[in-house]
A and B are shown apart, each in its own frame.
Chain A
Amino acid sequence: MIEVKALSKKYGDRFAIKDIHFTVDRGELVGFLGPNGAGKTTTMKIITGFMAPSSGSVQVGGYDVFENPMEVKTQIGYLPETPPVYMDMRVKDYLKYVAELRHVEKSNLTQYIGEALEKTDLASVENRLIENLSKGFRQRVGIAQALVSKPDILILDEPTVGLDPNQVAQFRKLIKDLKGHHTIILSTHILSEVQASCEKVVIVNEGRIVAQDNIKNLSQKAKAHSQLKVRTLKPIENLESFLSDIEDVLSWDGVGSQWSLSLKPEVSDGEIAAISNALSSAGNGLLEFQVQKAQLEEIFLDLTKSKSNEVNS
Chain B
Amino acid sequence: MKTIFCIFKKELRSIIGSPFYYVIGLLFATFLSINYIRSLAQFQTMSMQGAGLNIHSGLFIPHLNSIYLIFLVVIPLLTMRLFAEEKRNHTFDLLLTAPITSSQIVIGKFLASWLSVLILLAIGLLYPLMTASVASFDWGPMWGSYLGMFWLAGVNVSIGMFASTLTASSVVCAFLGFLLILALMLLGSGAGQMADPFWSSLLDQLSLVTHLQSFFQGLFEIKGFVFMISCILLFSFMAIRMVESSRWR
Contact = CB atoms under 8 A, between A and B. Distances in A.
A84 B89 CA distance: 7
Contacts of B198: none
Interface stretch (A44-52, A159-167, A205-213, A278-286): A44-52
B91 interface: yes
A88 B17 contact: yes
A84 B6 contact: no
Interface in A35-79: 48-52, 69-71, 73-74, 76, 78
Contacts of B7: 101
A24 interface: no
Interface string B84-98: 000001111111111
A191 interface: no
B6 A86 contact: no
Contacts of A82: 90, 93
A80 to B, nearest CB: 4
Contacts of A84: 89-94
A145 interface: yes
A51 B248 contact: yes
A94 B248 CA distance: 28
A76 B14 CA distance: 26
Nearest to A73: B99
A269 B37 CA distance: 98
Greatest chain A CB density within 10 A among B89, B90, B92, B93 is at B93
Contacts of B42: none
B3 A86 contact: no
A52 B92 CA distance: 15
Nearest to A78: B97
A271 B98 CA distance: 58
B223 interface: no
Nearest to B96: A50
Contacts of B94: 80, 84, 98, 101, 145
Contact of A74 (B17, B95, B99): B99
Contacts of B18: 88
A73 B97 contact: yes
A256 to B, nearest CB: 53
Interface string A90-128: 000000011011110000000000000000000000000
Interface in B208-249: 246-249
Contacts of A80: 90, 93-94, 97
B99 A103 contact: yes
Interface residues of A, number: 29
B100 A49 contact: no
A76 B247 contact: no
B10 interface: yes
A296 interface: no
B14 A102 contact: no
A70 B91 contact: no
Contacts of A103: 3, 99
A52 B97 CA distance: 12
Contact of A97 (B6, B99, B249): B6
Contact of A101 (B90, B95, B247, B248): B95
B14 A88 contact: yes
A85 interface: yes
A73 B94 CA distance: 11
A38 to B, nearest CB: 19
A155 to B, nearest CB: 9
Contact of A49 (B14, B17, B96, B249): B96
A82 B92 CA distance: 11
A87 interface: yes
Contacts of A83: 90
A86 B93 contact: no
A50 B98 contact: no
Contacts of A85: 89, 91
A87 B91 CA distance: 10
A102 B10 contact: no
A78 B3 contact: no
A51 B90 contact: no
Contact of A48 (B10, B14, B89, B97): B97
B182 to A, nearest CB: 30
B99 A102 contact: yes
Contacts of A86: 14, 89, 91
Nearest to A71: B99
A65 B2 CA distance: 23
B100 A101 contact: yes
A101 to B, nearest CB: 4
B99 A52 contact: no
A70 B99 contact: yes
Nearest to B249: A51
A253 B248 CA distance: 51
B99 A50 contact: no
18 contacts: A48-B97, A50-B96, A50-B247, A52-B247, A52-B248, A70-B99, A71-B99, A80-B93, A84-B89, A84-B92, A84-B94, A88-B14, A97-B6, A98-B98, A101-B3, A101-B98, A101-B100, A103-B3
Interface of A: 48-52, 69-71, 73-74, 76, 78, 80-89, 97-98, 100-103, 145
